[in-house]
Structure 1
Amino acid sequence: MPKLLMIAGLVLLLVGMAWQFIGRLPGDFVFKKGNVTFYFPIVTSIIVSVVLSVIFYFIGRFR
C-alpha cells in the first residue's frame, strides 16, 4: 500500500507540473458571456486520460 500511495502521489505531481506547461490546447472550449466564463478542457482531459491509462497499464503489467 505505501508503494501505491507513493506512485499515485508521483503521478499526481507530474500531471500537475505538466498541466502548467500544457495550458490551453486547441480544442478546449471557452465560453464567455458577460461576467461568466466557462472553460471545458476536453482535449487536455483526453491527453491526461491517455497518459494515465498508459502509466497504470505498465504498473499493472510489471506488478
Structure 2
Amino acid sequence: MGKTLVIVGVVLIIIGVLWQLLGRLIPLGRLPGDLFFKNGQVSFYFPIVTCIVISIVLSILFSLFRR
C-alpha cells in the first residue's frame, strides 16, 4: 500500500508540473464552451468543455493501460 501511495504521489507531482509548463501552450480551463458568468461582485465559472476533454483523454489512457 505504501509503495502505491508513493507512486500515485509522484505521478500527481509530474502531472502538476506538466500542467504548469504546458498550461501556457494548451488552454485547458479556458476553452470555448466553458461557462463563465459575472454579475456584479458574484462570478461563476464551470469548465464543462475542459472536463469533457480531460474525461475523454483519461478514458483513452485507461483503456490502453487495461490491455
Is this a same-fold pair by TM over 0.5? yes
Unaligned runs of 5+ in 2: none
Equivalent of residue 54 in structure 2, options 48, 52, 58: 48
Distance in 1, matches of 2:5 and 2:58, equals 14
The total of aligned residue pairs comes to 59
TM-score, normalised via structure 2 length = 0.65
Residue 7 of structure 1: how far off its partner (Å): 6.5
TM-score, normalised via structure 1 length = 0.69
Q: When you count helix as a share of all residues, which structure comes out higher?
A: 1
Q: Percent identity?
A: 44
Q: 1:7 to 1:55 in 2, by over 3 A?
A: farther
Provide the alpha-carbon RMSD of the alignment.
2.9
Aligned residue for 1:30? 36
